[in-house]
Every structure is written in structure tokens, then in C-alpha cells.
Structure 1
């Protein structure tokens, strides 16, 4: 991918064409400028880059491998490959940007990391980063998600983080973001908000995107070394969109590669019980930035639903919003049922239990393989499913 793209997007005001920006209170503007300035001065230094590379290799276990799904390909057609971000330390792609954000916080002299989490993977990753650097950590999580993803709550607490329940509204991811931002506003001097995806006011979508680019850089080289060509299709799930932008970023200028972002179709697109922001949303402002949003009749963020706690968000990354308009990425949705079916298929045919978020991408890849039996498909398997086992078994049982 040309470096010119990353220098062009976002622009100096943090916009990806019309999306992004920073619609924030005046008292936060100066803090956002400090973070932005620190990111550009610190993250480009040899010392920072060397330390981050050392962390990725010796602590995170990068590079994660690309794996060919032999039995899944035999059954469904095509050649299905997985970028195994589930093998990244803590079990998901989230640590890629959390270690970078925490390292930035250390260089800025911050004492505390604050963040939201949905499925808990970002919370676990940030708690891990805080423990590594000796920083305080406070994670805000919806009450519904705390009950649904309790194993990750225990992991956060064991790692030393304070878990704060979000008890208003639907008590899920949007409310966790509300709660975390309120906490951050109380002391922006000593704390830093480490957002969990490519969302939020500038410079967060850019910072998270840049730290997640390692996924695409690795995957492109690995796939070519394995096959002698680039994949015909790249598929990734999209909630906020960090894992997707991470892998897409390396292929945006490769016209032979089709990119697919997969959203939660939930129970039904017709009834509104979904989180298919790109499919049915329209431009709006949420949490300090402009993007495609699902809105109610009053223009406020609409209630959303997904079986995957990390994807039930009524907004999406501003860069994804731009890529949709530019038709660089095709966005589709997968229902809860299709997600569960793919969850068990990958588990039983390949011995890999995926996160419910990732299972959305797997489900779409299986459809794509049936329709294009001679093409290759690279799925970004963004996380492992340990966190989802109790929920899946309790609500769907175990098939014979």
C-alpha cells in the first residue's frame, strides 16, 4: 500500500473525506492536540519503533501465521485461509494497538489508561498492556456484556484492572463508551483514553489504524510466500472496524483483491434487531466523530443487537465510511444464526474455535466459497472463542 494514502487520510483535521473529525468539548480539544502531537513526534522515533517491534516479537508472539483450511475448503469449495489473530497474545488483534497506545502513554508521562470494551477482548488487551508498563487501568463495560462475557471480566481483574459497569440505556457497548468518556473528562491530564477500535474523535481512528496495519503487512507477505499470488478475496468482520482496517490497509490498491467487511445482521434486518450500520445507516455524529450511524426517528443513535458483544455498536470507523462511498470495500451482513453455524463448522472441521465476532467473517467466507469455487479467500480471524463458550452453550446448546 502506498505511503501516500496514509499521509493523505486522514487530513490534518482528522477527516477521511467527509467522515471523522473531532466534535468534542473545548476543554478536550487541547488534550486531543497533545495526543496527536505526541503521536507524530514519539511514534516516528527509532526508540519507539524499536521498542514496539521488540514487544510484538517477544511478548505478543508476532508474526501470527496464515493457515490453510484444508477440510473447510474441501467441503465448501474455494481455498479458504485464515490470518490467525486468535494466536496473538490475549487471543485477539486488540493487543496490536493496545501495546502501542500504552507505550505512547508511557512516553507522554500518563499514569492511567481508560477504555471501553464490548466483548472484553479490548479490555483484556489494555489491562495486559497496563500490567506490562506498570500503569493503572480502568475498563468500562456494559452490565449486559459483563454477564455475557464474564470470563474476560475475571481476566481483566486478575491483570489488575478496575472494571466499571455501564448501567444506563441498553447496558452494552455504546453505553460503555459513554461511561468511559465521562471518566476520561474528569482527569485528561493524568489519564489517556485508549479507544478500542478505529472510532472516536481524531486522532484515535488514525492511531488505532496505524498500529493495526501490522496485520495486513504480515498477511500480504505470508499469503504470497505460501501461494505465489495475492488472495482473490479478503474478508473481515466489522463492528467499529479495527481488525478489518488492519488487514484491508495492505490491499487497498490491489484491484485484483476484493475486500468484504461483514456486519452483524442480528436477528433480522427487517425488525431492527441488528447492528448493520453500513448496510442501513446514514451519515451522522456519534461519540465525537462523523460516520455512518444507525439512527432512530429523532436522529439519535438507534438501539442495536448482535450476538457478538464486540460488534453491537450503532456507528463505525470513519475510514470504513469513506471506503464504502469510494466502493473500495463491499459491506455485507451475517445473521446470528449464520454466525453460530459457522462457529461450530470451523470448530469441528479445523479444530479452531473462533470468537463470535470472527465467526461472522467465517460465515460470509463459506458463502463466498460456494459461489466462487475456484477463488482464494483470506479471512482475518480476529479472535478466539474461549470468551463465548458459556454464552453459546447456554443459548444454543452443542449440536450432535
Structure 2
């Protein structure tokens, strides 16, 4: 959990769940009691030694934490600019950062007397992580996934099913992440008395963005301590993460958010072009609106409905952004950048061929920007990237559409 000494975490969110003008609870009234129960249970349970001890045990034994920081020496030497380091969240059990909050939600559900977890997934990493946590804690699991993503990420679908989860296809709209979220929210409305919604990112109504951030903050705490140890007392000049909902970003930002000399960079998917419907760059092109129970920035059509989105990375194909990320952008604490499909693919091939690491397509966006940034900064500076997931899930798609990059 974030340090209680941090002035930032004492201030955000406020009692109503707002991060500045963003956030709040814009969910159907019939679910208010369930969300209030979740908020109060979380605040009570997170303070107990038993909860923390169990969480730490699972993080160490099941997840394999702590994950290391690794210096990308080969690529840094090629770029001949700032040095690039990565936080290896791809080494978590199940292959991504998502399990950090999934085990937290599973433990919450168990303590609250719920017997089922419901969630959405895009690339499938959150779904696999939740199915893993549900299996460990003896809970039922229902994962909603866009029909298009089910086809693209068939290996992750199989993993979820092998772990005992029921995968529910979302067939409306673009049959992608936003539509999976709609489907999962509707399922939660019907089943909230016995089920807990384990949201996939730092989105949705209060208290979901706060809970996801807090569980993901383990990434930032570890990264800060590790970086200080590696550099004999220094912090990175730049911290970089890909952003859609914002779970991996808020996780690593949490360790540095009170350090004004550390620049925080949010990397969005530019997709095919900057034309609406051809990207998912919400911070760059979104407007204030309400999506999935919270006020935030949303990519919108002229009539105010959410726009179609496009990204090579299924986990980034979302027309909104978490309310905390929206606030950090509005206040200028987070710098934004956009990376195209082709730039992300290029970074994936470069990482594979020169560092021996195949990153997830989502993480490849952050790496592509870090390489660009490094080429423009002096060698005395250090860039820390949250390598949020590994690319096993993307290999078949990349080979079919881009070959081996030779």
C-alpha cells in the first residue's frame, strides 16, 4: 500500500472519490450500497496485520515478487544518450503487473464473504491473473472479453479456461475492451450480492481507482528502493509507462509522485493515425465526460458518445483513462506522448533481438517512447520504464502480421 506519510496519498482521492474534477461515483443507485460496502471493508481490512501478511505471502510465493530492475545496456549503447532501465513486471507469475491487484481483490472478496470474482479483460493478461488468483483463493471467476480479442488472444483464453474461469464473449460495439467492460459491469449489477467486481485497471467509480492504485503501488515502492540501491542514492530523471486505464502507470508513478525532479511520462497508443477512431490516445484528444461510472477524459464523437478506438495492443484499446491519470495530466504532473502501431512493433523487435526480451505490445509503446526520449537526453540521465508485461500472448499475432522483423 502507498505510504501513509505521503502528502499526495493523504490528499487523493477525497472522501467522495474525486481526483480534482475527475472520479466520483456515477454508477446506478442500486449499486451504491455494494460500493460503500467495498470501500468500508477495504479501509478496515487493509489496516489489519493478517491482511497484509497474507498479501505479502501470496506476492512472494505465488507471484514471485520482488521483480528486478534491469539495465538495457545494449539498446542504451546503441542510442548513445540517456541510460534506459526497466522494471521487470513481465517476470510476475502470469506474465504481467495485473496480478498485483488481482490477488488483492481476491483476498478482499474472501474476507468479505463473496464467492465469485467478475472482471473484464482486453489482451487477456488481467483475465489470466484474476483466474489465477481465484483458483488460489477458491473462488468462482467470470471474465468478460471482447469477441475480437478472444480471437486475437486465443492462448490467454485457453489459460483462463484451464484455470477454471468462465470466459463470456462481449459481442456489442467493437467487441473490444470497452464492450467487455460494459458487459462485466452489467453482470456485476446482477450478481453484486455474492460477487465482487475486480476491475482491470484504475478506472470506474470510487473506490475502484484508489484500490487498484494502492495494490499496484508495490511496483513503485520496490522500484524506488531498487533504483536508489543501484545508483548509490539517486533517483531516475524520467519514469515512463504506457497508459490506457492506468494501472501499471499509477503503480510505478506511486514511488516517485512526490519527487518534483522526477518527470512522469504517460505513453498512449496513437494507433494508425490521429484521426478519431484510428487511435486510443485519450489524454491527447479526449474531453471531460463520464465512462464506466466515473468522470474522466473520454474520446467522444460529436454527440458525446464514446468513440471507436484502435490500437495494435488490445490492452490499450480503450476510449477513456483513469480519473487519477486525467488529474495528473491536467495539473501538468504527467507529460504525455503518443506512439504509433509501427513504432511499438519496431521497439518489440529491437528488444527481442538486442536484449533477449519480448515485451507485450502494450509495454512496447512505453519502450518505444523511452528509446526516443533517450536519444534526446544526455548520457548522465536515467530513464526507468515499467515493462508491464511479456509478449508471449502477442507472438502469434506479430509473426502473422509482421514476420520476424529480420
TM interval, shorter chain, is over 0.9
Q: Give the equivalent residue in structure 1 for 2:405.
A: 399
Q: Deviations over 1:307-328 (max 9, x none)?
A: 0000000010100011011111
Residues in 1 aligned to 2:260 and 2:327: alpha-carbon distance in whole angstroms: 17
1:33 aligned residue (32, 36, 45): 36
What's the offset of the Cα at 1:71?
0.4
Q: Give the equivalent residue in structure 2 for 1:47.
A: 50
Instruction: Tell me the TM-score normalized by structure 1.
Output: 0.99
Q: Give the equivalent residue in structure 1 for 2:392.
A: 386
1:175 aligned residue (175, 179, 184): 179
Residues in 2 aligned to 1:271 and 1:8: alpha-carbon distance in whole angstroms: 35
What's the offset of the Cα at 1:85?
0.1
Tell me if 1:308 matches 2:321.
Answer: no
Q: Do the aligned partners of residues 271 and 184 (structure 1) sit closer, same or farther apart at CA in structure 2, a change above 3 Å counting?
A: closer
Q: Deviations over 1:46-87 (max 9, x none)?
A: 110111011111111100000001101100122110000000
Residues in 2 aligned to 1:177 and 1:399: alpha-carbon distance in whole angstroms: 34
Moved over 3 A (4+): none
Structure 2 gaps, min length 5: none
Residues in 2 aligned to 1:271 and 1:86: alpha-carbon distance in whole angstroms: 31
SS at match of 2:145: strand
Q: Give the equivalent residue in structure 2 for 1:199.
A: 203
Aligned residues: 400
What's the offset of the Cα at 1:373?
3.2
2:161 aligned residue (141, 157, 161): 157
What's the offset of the Cα at 1:271?
5.4
SS at match of 1:10: coil
Q: Give the equivalent residue in structure 1 for 2:91.
A: 87
Q: Give the equivalent residue in structure 2 for 1:59.
A: 62
Residues in 2 aligned to 1:298 and 1:159: alpha-carbon distance in whole angstroms: 42
Q: Do the aligned partners of residues 170 and 272 (structure 1) sit closer, same or farther apart at CA in structure 2, a change above 3 Å counting?
A: closer
Residues in 2 aligned to 1:102 and 1:41: alpha-carbon distance in whole angstroms: 16
Work out whether residues 316 and 362 of structure 2, in 8 Å CA contact, stay in contact via their aligned partners in 1: yes
Q: Give the equivalent residue in structure 1 for 2:383.
A: 377
Residues in 1 aligned to 2:30 and 2:40: alpha-carbon distance in whole angstroms: 17
SS at match of 1:164: strand
Tell me if 1:258 matches 2:278.
Answer: no
SS at match of 1:283: strand
SS at match of 1:63: coil
Q: Give the equivalent residue in structure 2 for 1:284.
A: 289
What's the offset of the Cα at 1:4?
2.7
Residues in 2 aligned to 1:331 and 1:282: alpha-carbon distance in whole angstroms: 15
Q: Do the aligned partners of residues 299 and 214 (structure 1) sit closer, same or farther apart at CA in structure 2, a change above 3 Å counting?
A: same
Q: Give the equivalent residue in structure 2 for 1:74.
A: 77
Residues in 2 aligned to 1:129 and 1:225: alpha-carbon distance in whole angstroms: 31
Work out whether residues 276 and 307 of structure 2, in 8 Å CA contact, stay in contact via their aligned partners in 1: no
Instruction: Tell me the TM-score normalized by structure 2.
Output: 0.97
1:96 aligned residue (93, 100, 105): 100
SS at match of 1:83: strand
Tell me if 1:17 matches 2:17.
Answer: no
What's the offset of the Cα at 1:270?
3.2
Q: Give the equivalent residue in structure 2 for 1:226.
A: 230
Q: Give the equivalent residue in structure 2 for 1:275.
A: 280
SS at match of 2:399: helix
Work out whether residues 276 and 309 of structure 2, in 8 Å CA contact, stay in contact via their aligned partners in 1: no
Q: Deviations over 1:200-245 (max 9, x none)?
A: 0110000000000000000011011111211111110001010001
State the Cα RMSD in Å: 0.9
Residues in 2 aligned to 1:252 and 1:227: alpha-carbon distance in whole angstroms: 19
SS at match of 1:196: coil
1:361 aligned residue (363, 366, 371): 366
Structure 1 gaps, min length 5: none
SS at match of 1:327: coil
Q: Deviations over 1:100-145 (max 9, x none)?
A: 0100000000011000000000000000000000000000000000
Residues in 1 aligned to 2:377 and 2:8: alpha-carbon distance in whole angstroms: 30
